[in-house]
Structure 1
Amino acid sequence: MLQQVYPSPQHDYVYELNKDFHFAAAHYVPSEEAGKCQRVHGHTYYANVTVAGDELDAAGFLVNFAIIKKLIHERFDHTLLNDDTDSFDEADPNRFPTTEVVARTVCELVQQYLDGTANKPVCVQVFLRETPTSYCVYRPKRKGGKSHE
């Protein structure tokens, strides 16, 4: 695994958990502006998911590390991202499988799971590296339009 120092999201929660993992996937960006990326190509994506909260669950976890990896790895590893029409859409630029949209989607999938837990932690950041020199940081806004600060 790539040893990496990630940007720190600002928040006032007591606990912060970070999970690193990677998955291999292909995609293409259905836009003429994408240049060569219009063609099917693949990446080994490196992800860091940051979850924060104030309460631990019945097992003493904020969230089990393995669950975070499983949610994303089982869904996206060795797939063509464009085929996941629940997550991506070739008609809507806000849902093309770009690095930005994949990072947001990872966050949304993790948060959807977290919303069903008793201790209700929050996914505060997803760092997604697509290539050795290109990555995206996604930080969702809290309800009311404010970031996790």
Structure 2
Amino acid sequence: MIQQIYPSPDHPFSYELNKDFHFAAAHSIPHEAAGKCQQVHGHTYFANVTIAGDELDESGFLVNFKTIKNLLHDRFDHKVLNEDERFPSESGNTFPTTEVVARVMYEIIQEYLDKTMNKPTCLQIYLRETPTSYVIYRPKTGRV
């Protein structure tokens, strides 16, 4: 992967970890405003996960890079996103748009981090759907 620089929020933590990965997935947006995107189609998504914290775990990691990849890449790579339980088709807030996929990725990561002893925080998910279109999701939870 080509090295990229992502916008990063200011934060008070000692450590900041960034994990890049890509995955291929298909989706459709079942809403008339989506135009052609109402049809099933695919993307090669590029993602960056930013995690920060002050304490390392017993192995010296803020969080293991492999864990992040396992949680997200293994779940979404070569899948139809609409079929994932996190994307029920009843509401526009859950259609697998890039915005919603980024939010769901954050939720999956943060749910895992909340169960760890050192409790790092996911600061943002950067998700590129096409070479010219991307979303950044940053929670407004006051975690920082």
TM range (shorter): over 0.9
1:121 aligns with 2:90: no
Structure 2 unaligned regions, length at least 5: none
- What displacement does 1:89 show? 1.5
Aligned to 1:141: 140
- What displacement does 1:11 show? 1.1
- What displacement does 1:10 show? 1.7
Aligned to 2:18: 18
| AA at the equivalent of 1:48 | N
1:112 aligns with 2:119: no
Aligned to 1:103: 102
Aligned to 1:6: 6
For 1:106 and 1:125, the matched residues in 2 are separated by 10
- What SS does the corresponding residue of 1:70 show, helix, strand or coil? helix
For 2:20 and 2:69, the matched residues in 1 are separated by 8
1:85-130 CA-partner distances (Å, limit 9, x unpaired): x210211111000000000011100001101100000000000000
Aligned to 2:86: 87
1:4-83 residue pairs with structure 2 within 5 A? 4-83=4-83
CA contact (8 A) 2:28 2:82 kept: yes
| AA at the equivalent of 1:27 | H
CA contact (8 A) 1:139 1:147 kept: no
1:45-92 CA-partner distances (Å, limit 9, x unpaired): 0000000001000000000001001100111100000001x2102111
Structure 1 unaligned regions, length at least 5: none
Kindly report the root-mean-square deviation, in angstroms, between the aligned alpha carbons of the 2 structures: 1.0
Query: What's the TM-score, normalizing by structure 1?
Result: 0.94
- What SS does the corresponding residue of 2:42 show, helix, strand or coil? strand
Moved over 3 A (4+): none
For 1:77 and 1:102, the matched residues in 2 are separated by 13
CA contact (8 A) 1:43 1:130 kept: yes
- What SS does the corresponding residue of 2:103 show, helix, strand or coil? helix
